[in-house]
């Protein structure tokens, strides 16, 4: 299939997958926040029921632990089926081999993620629960990568080529991905093991500073596509810092204004969940920003080489011995 709608269709399918993954992540984060990961002692069944036959809605407002955990399982099943569709459509619509492989990688990642969740239940292992959450963020970033590389802007990145050096922005973009991933891992340690809180706070400050520096560098050196990406990442990070501060308040209280934290309150549940989910969005934004930087750098380098290979009129005249 080669009509003009084909690339846009694959991009739309990729965007829907990201939205479905957000639903799955939200159910998973709520499950962890409520400590409901072991609401069912069995897997892949739920209290002996097959996945789709369990009376899930019966638990609504009656047994929140089971409602959230089984909702997470159902959402995971849906994202698995959508990932199969993504692979099929990528092989039908996409000419780039590496994009097809990316689609397959996403499907394999979703399968591995499901198995990790299952083994976490069967072994009742909180360490696997933490790994399950970290790997989810990585797979989510792969899904964001698919959205980026199938977008019209990616295909038309030549419009954003620049003669300016992007070395600083490239280095910052890589550093940001590494730092945000490290920060996410530290957040998982805080969430699942109750450790590394101060390390998480300290690295969070460093991440904020580096992302702000990246926005300044992109504003000075980068074309419009990269500037928008850098400032989008900065905005997402500012929100994540705000959610982190709110998480601290609902966890430890704020004596200065007389606010007393209530353990396992609805406020704690919701704010901690939003902070975790937005952390995955921050990592995705960091990865996509890095990809855009390297894409623009690549097309700019190609353009520079092409310009160097085209002789100027003066050099052509000289080479021809002065004959026009």
- The whole-number pLDDT of residue 305 equals 55
Task: With CA atoms as reference, report the closest residue to 89 among 177, 163, 22, 11.
Answer: 11
pLDDT at site 237: 98
Number of other residues whose CB lies within 10 A of the CB of residue 239:
15
Task: Give phi and psi for 254, each to the nearest 5.
Answer: -140, 85
- Contacts for 236 with CB less than 8 Å, ≥ 6 apart: 278, 281, 282, 285
pLDDT above 60: residue 316: no
Residues 241/233, Cβ–Cβ less than 8 Å: no
- The pTM of the full predicted model, rounded to 2 decimals, is 0.91
Tens-place pLDDT, residues 152-194: 999 887 777 776 788 999 999 999 999 999 999 999 999 999 9
> How high is the pLDDT of residue 264?
84
- pLDDT > 90: percent of the chain: 77
Domain residue spans of the chain: 1-155, 156-307
pLDDT of 270 over the 80 cut: yes
Question: Is residue 87 a contact partner of residue 104, using CB atoms and an 8 Å limit?
Answer: yes
User: In this structure, are residues 15 and 147 in contact, taking their beta carbons and an 8 Å threshold?
Assistant: yes
pLDDT tens sequence across 2-57: 444 566 999 999 999 999 999 999 999 999 999 999 999 999 999 999 999 999 99
Statement: residue 303 has pLDDT above 60: no
Query: 226 near 296, Cβ under 8 Å?
Result: yes
pLDDT at 6: 66
């Amino acid at each position: 299939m080669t009509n003009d709608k084909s690339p846009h269709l694959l991009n739309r399918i990729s965007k829907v997958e990201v939205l479905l993954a957000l639903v799955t992540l939200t159910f998973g984060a709520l499950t962890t926040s409520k400590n409901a990961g072991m609401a069912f002692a069995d897997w892949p069944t739920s209290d002996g029921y097959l996945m789709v036959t369990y009376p899930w809605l019966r638990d609504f407002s009656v047994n929140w632990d089971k409602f959230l955990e089984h909702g997470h399982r159902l959402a995971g099943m849906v994202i698995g089926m959508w990932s199969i569709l993504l692979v099929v459509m990528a092989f039908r619509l996409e000419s780039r081999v590496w994009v097809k492989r990316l689609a397959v990688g996403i499907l394999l990642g979703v399968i591995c993620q499901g198995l990790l969740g299952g083994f976490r239940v069967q072994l009742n292992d909180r360490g696997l629960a933490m790994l399950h959450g970290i790997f989810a963020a990585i797979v989510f970033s792969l899904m964001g990568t698919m959205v980026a590389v199938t977008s019209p802007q990616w295909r038309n990145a030549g419009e954003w080529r620049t003669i300016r050096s992007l070395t600083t922005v490239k280095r910052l973009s890589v550093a940001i991905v590494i730092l945000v991933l490290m920060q996410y891992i530290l957040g998982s340690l805080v969430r699942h093991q109750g450790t590394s809180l101060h390390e998480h706070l300290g690295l969070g400050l460093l991440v904020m500073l580096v992302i702000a520096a990246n926005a300044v560098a992109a504003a000075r050196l980068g074309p419009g596509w990269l500037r928008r990406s850098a400032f989008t990442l900065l905005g997402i990070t500012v929100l994540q810092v705000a959610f982190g501060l709110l998480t601290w308040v609902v966890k430890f209280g704020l004596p200065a204004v007389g606010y007393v934290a209530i353990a396992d309150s609805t406020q704690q549940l919701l704010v901690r969940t939003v902070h975790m989910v937005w952390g995955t969005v921050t990592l995705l934004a960091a990865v996509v920003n890095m990809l855009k930087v390297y894409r623009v750098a690549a097309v700019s380098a190609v353009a520079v080489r092409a310009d160097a290979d085209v002789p100027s009129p003066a050099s052509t005249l000289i080479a021809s011995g002065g004959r026009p």
